[in-house]
Amino acid sequence: MQMNLRPKVRKMSTYDLGMSDPSIHTGSFESQVTPEGQAEELEDPEPPPCLHGAFHWVTGDTQYLTDFLERWPLLSPVLPLRLLNAILRTLGAPLLANNPFSGALVLAALLIEAPLVVIWGTGALLVAFLTALLLRQPQHIVSSGQVTQHGLLLGLLVGHAMHSRLPGNGLVSGAARQGSGLAGVTASALLLGVLAAVSSVPSVSYPNSALSLTMPYVLIGTPLCASLGFRDVAEPTGVPDVTALPSAAAPVVSVPATPVLVDGLVNVTVRPTSQHLQWTLVLQGVVRGAGQVYGCEGLVSSGLVFAATLVFSPTVFGQALLGTLTGALCGTLLDEPPYTALYAGQYGRHSLLTALSLGGFFFVLNTYSTLAGVFGGVLATLLFHALRKSPLAVLTTPHVISTLIFLHARLRGGLLKRVDLIYLSFPEMHRRLFRPGNAVEDFVLA
């Protein structure tokens, strides 16, 4: 499939797969088309709202970094920097955070949680990256992580599957305990390499130039989990096991409250109970929902993932927090005692992704898009609860289904303004593009 070059509108687009005419421009932004047909870039002295000062250099999509690196030939001294930029942006891509600083925080979170998982994820990412380059996909799409994020997610999935089999920290010993040994690990690595390469093929990663979110990851990851015998929704290991109360016939034994040690931090004092919610743990589950996007259950790792969304966009951070809070509140009604999945943040993962997708990213931020994100988060949580007991892997299926339903919904009166794929950047920029008197739909065709 032949890709079209994006228009010179602040070089903000990272999801511009449906552009049919690169001559579209606007007089109020950075590009004009000369009579000779050549695009001339202009400077935009006004940064988006809330991105003044030093924050302007680290917040948003930091397109200036990619612009600087793309000025050099592929085989040049800056090649390691270009590769590092692409890897870090890909790490933030599952959160829609096209920002290398956000990716660095996600990398730190993964290294704290499970360093061996990072090896699997990075290896699959590099395979997907090289495949995309061999297929001559546009460099700005590859560097943004739009294509290679599926390989990253597949690598993290296999990494967590291998890590779940370990009695300790030795990968080979854990595989030997499963009867597969080093040969099984090698076979899993080869299978992952093939699937990561397939995930970066244009017809798979973005079929028909349509918005597919992480659907390729779901379609490839579901049979992969079945072949590995791995369930992505397993019993949490980073939250306390709450024992059931004794029955009426049995004598009641008074158990003193003891601190629960999680990831080296004393989190909360918990009394064993099977019927009453521990609201302190519910609030911890709100934070853990962000880490669950990458399979992290630790509070520190989850906090770093939240920080990654804040660095990318304060709006995305607020919507992510609202989304995981919505999922946690729904989980208090849906989950069953002893509420281990709720406390681990599993109910907040899909609602978080849905809320940040709808509340300011794919829709221009306003009251109605925020409400769409909340209701989309509720739908994603209900779908997760329905799929949780199924034999198949859940992955990001609830998020993909609920987000696509709302994106294809039509609301009268233009209350929900959907951002065209070629102009997707970050919410603050979307607000500026679609503000009154400066609307994108007022473009003049060259």
Residue 293 has pLDDT above 90, yes or no: yes
Gap between the Cα atoms of 41 and 215, Å rounded: 35
443 against 229, higher pLDDT: 229
β-pair partners for 31? 41
What are the tens digits of pLDDT across the range 323-382?
Answer: 999 999 999 999 888 898 999 999 999 999 999 999 989 999 999 999 999 999 999 999
Picking from 193, 194, 174, the residue whose alpha carbon sits closest to that of residue 184 is 174
Least confident of 11-25, 119-133, 251-265: 11-25
Judge whether 181 and 172 are in contact, CB under 8 Å: yes
Gap between the Cα atoms of 142 and 74, Å rounded: 13
Q: What is the pLDDT of residue 75?
A: 74
What are the tens digits of pLDDT across the range 76-99?
Answer: 788 888 889 989 999 999 999 999
Percent of the chain with pLDDT over 90: 35
What does each C-alpha distance from 290 to 32, 293, 320 come to in angstroms?
Answer: 41, 6, 8
Q: What is the pLDDT of residue 166?
A: 63
Tell me which DSSP letter residue 105 carries. H
β-pair partners for 25? 444
181 against 226, higher pLDDT: 226
What does each C-alpha distance from 39 to 8, 22, 137, 268, 338 come to in angstroms?
Answer: 7, 9, 22, 60, 61
136 against 87, higher pLDDT: 87
Contacts of 361 (CB under 8 A, 6+ apart): 96, 316, 319, 419, 424, 426, 427, 430
Give the model's confidence band at 52: pLDDT under 50 very low, under 70 low, under 90 confident, else very high: low
Give the model's confidence band at 318: pLDDT under 50 very low, under 70 low, under 90 confident, else very high: very high
Gap between the Cα atoms of 30 and 65, Å rounded: 17
Residue 35 has pLDDT above 90, yes or no: no
Contacts of 343 (CB under 8 A, 6+ apart): 236, 239, 240, 278, 281, 282, 284, 285, 288
Residue 302, token pair as written in the block: 């989850």
Most confident of 145-149, 159-163, 170-174, 297-301: 297-301
Judge whether 165 and 177 are in contact, CB under 8 Å: yes
343 against 274, higher pLDDT: 343
Gap between the Cα atoms of 86 and 79, Å rounded: 11
Gap between the Cα atoms of 417 and 439, Å rounded: 11
Give the model's confidence band at 54: pLDDT under 50 very low, under 70 low, under 90 confident, else very high: low
Picking from 323, 313, 289, 315, the residue whose alpha carbon sits closest to that of residue 303 is 289
Q: What is the pLDDT of residue 20?
A: 34
Average pLDDT of 185-212? 72
Gap between the Cα atoms of 169 and 166, Å rounded: 6
Q: What is the pLDDT of residue 322?
A: 96
Task: List strand residue ranges (DSSP E) for 280-319, in order.
Answer: none
Judge whether 354 and 403 are in contact, CB under 8 Å: yes
Give the model's confidence band at 161: pLDDT under 50 very low, under 70 low, under 90 confident, else very high: confident
261 against 104, higher pLDDT: 104
Judge whether 306 and 110 are in contact, CB under 8 Å: no
Residue 307, token pair as written in the block: 């920080």
Picking from 355, 364, 372, the residue whose alpha carbon sits closest to that of residue 321 is 355
Average pLDDT of 384-404? 92
Picking from 437, 369, 445, 357, the residue whose alpha carbon sits closest to that of residue 402 is 357
Tell me which DSSP letter residue 59 carries. S
Least confident of 60-64, 240-244, 343-347, 419-423: 240-244
Q: What share of the chain is helix, strand, coil (3-state, %, to 5)?
A: 55, 5, 40
Give the model's confidence band at 268: pLDDT under 50 very low, under 70 low, under 90 confident, else very high: very low
User: Exposed, middle or buried by CB within 10 Å (0-12, 13-18, 19+), for 254?
Assistant: exposed
Q: What is the pLDDT of residue 194?
A: 85
Give the model's confidence band at 33: pLDDT under 50 very low, under 70 low, under 90 confident, else very high: very low
Least confident of 172-181, 214-223, 309-318, 376-385: 172-181
Mean predicted lDDT score pLDDT of the chain: 75
